[in-house]
């Protein structure tokens, strides 16, 4: 009995020693920065000036200043519009349509389409932003096409800046969702679909009663990942429009950066980051709750 207890104790010590390096890395590079981020959100920390060395705890003042900011309603609206039309509707719906169209195509078409879509995914954000800047420019590709058909050119980046950014971000981020949906759809047996057709089910009934319920796990995962990625999208917007014109494309992530590193108000910028994190956590929880409700 004593030897068994000693052996279990040695195994426990060995397990702790083996996990210690990973625990240290997680603590140093994840837990500590996370704790400090939360702390800085309640301080007046700046990058320059007296407050950079003499940081004080200010409670909820940063959050109150954000909600009182006259630009906040527009920025929040931009964030919601960008999230819904670029992430939730744009990337998800477009990706599902592409994956569905590719399901019964031959391998060469699937490979070519997959390559073209993934090409946008692997393109660095800064390069993609400059590509679409050239595309939507007053003398860019899109206006050249319109002029060829006798249509007057449109100042896309001034008249429709948010639409331009949304289209660019859909092109950039659709590949991830498409690959996820494609793998999930390939896992649905053709026999199930054929049996439903024999029983008289139409396309909509197959989609709503068979396809979507069978891939709801994948749908939840992609929704969460795309939502968090779209909420935190910064490089594409900042390099494309800089948040302009007149803050028409400024989202919370862009505003966080401009306040923290443009205006040097790190505490204020960190408070905005905390709001973003909270929004992402709430939406992720709602997705998971909705999936669990459907399972029940």
Burial class (CB in 10 A: 0-12, 13-18, 19+), 268: buried
Q: Please, are residues 129 and 157 in contact by the beta-carbon 8 Å criterion?
A: no
**In a 3-state reduction of DSSP, which class is residue 153?**
coil
DSSP string, 94-146: HHHHHHHHHTTS-HHHHHHHHHHHHHHHHS-HHHHHHHHHHHHSTTSHHHHHH
* 177 CB neighbour count, 10 Å cutoff: 28
| pLDDT tens-digit readout, 237-296 | 998 888 888 889 999 999 999 998 888 888 999 999 999 988 888 888 887 777 776 665
Q: Please, are residues 103 and 186 in contact by the beta-carbon 8 Å criterion?
A: yes
Unique residue bearing structure tokens 């302009």: 244
Query: What predicted TM-score, i.e. pTM, was given to this entire model?
Result: 0.85
- Rounded distance, CA 72 to CA 70, Å? 6
For residue 104, what are the CA distances in angstroms to 127, 183, 246, 292?
33, 13, 47, 31
Question: CATH assignment of 62-295, given 3.40.50.2000, 1.10.3720.10, 3.90.1300.10, 3.30.2020.30?
Answer: 1.10.3720.10
Angle at 47 between CA 42 and CA 51, to 5 degrees: 60
Domain ranges across the chain = 62-295
| pLDDT tens-digit readout, 165-202 | 999 999 888 888 888 888 888 888 778 878 888 877 78
| CA 247 centroid distance within chain | 20
């Amino acid at each position: 009995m004593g030897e068994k207890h000693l052996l279990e104790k040695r195994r426990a010590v060995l397990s702790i020693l083996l996990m210690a390096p990973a625990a240290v890395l997680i603590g140093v590079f994840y837990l500590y920065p996370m704790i400090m981020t939360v702390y800085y959100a309640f301080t007046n920390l700046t990058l320059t000036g007296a407050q950079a060395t003499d940081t004080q705890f200010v409670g909820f003042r940063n959050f109150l200043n954000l909600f009182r900011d006259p630009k906040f309603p527009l920025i929040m609206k931009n964030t919601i519009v960008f999230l819904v039309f670029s992430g939730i509707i744009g990337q998800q719906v477009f990706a599902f349509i592409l994956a569905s169209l590719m399901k019964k195509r031959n391998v060469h078409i699937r490979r070519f389409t997959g390559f073209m879509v993934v090409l946008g995914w692997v393109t660095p954000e800064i390069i993609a932003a400059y590509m679409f800047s050239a595309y939507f420019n007053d003398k860019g590709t899109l206006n050249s096409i319109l002029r060829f058909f006798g249509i007057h050119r449109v100042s896309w980046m001034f008249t429709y800046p948010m639409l331009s950014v949304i289209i660019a971000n859909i092109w950039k981020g659709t590949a991830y969702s498409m690959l996820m949906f494609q793998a999930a759809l390939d896992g649905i047996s053709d026999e199930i679909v054929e049996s439903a057709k024999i029983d008289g089910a139409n396309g909509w009934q197959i989609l709503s009663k068979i396809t979507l319920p069978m891939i709801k796990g994948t749908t939840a995962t992609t929704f969460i990942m795309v939502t968090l990625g779209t909420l935190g999208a910064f490089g594409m917007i900042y390099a494309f429009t800089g948040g302009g014109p007149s803050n028409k494309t400024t989202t919370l992530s862009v505003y966080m950066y401009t306040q923290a590193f443009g205006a040097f108000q790190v505490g204020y910028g960190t408070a905005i980051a905390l709001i973003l994190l909270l929004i992402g956590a709430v939406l992720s929880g709602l997705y998971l709750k909705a999936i669990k409700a459907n399972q029940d």
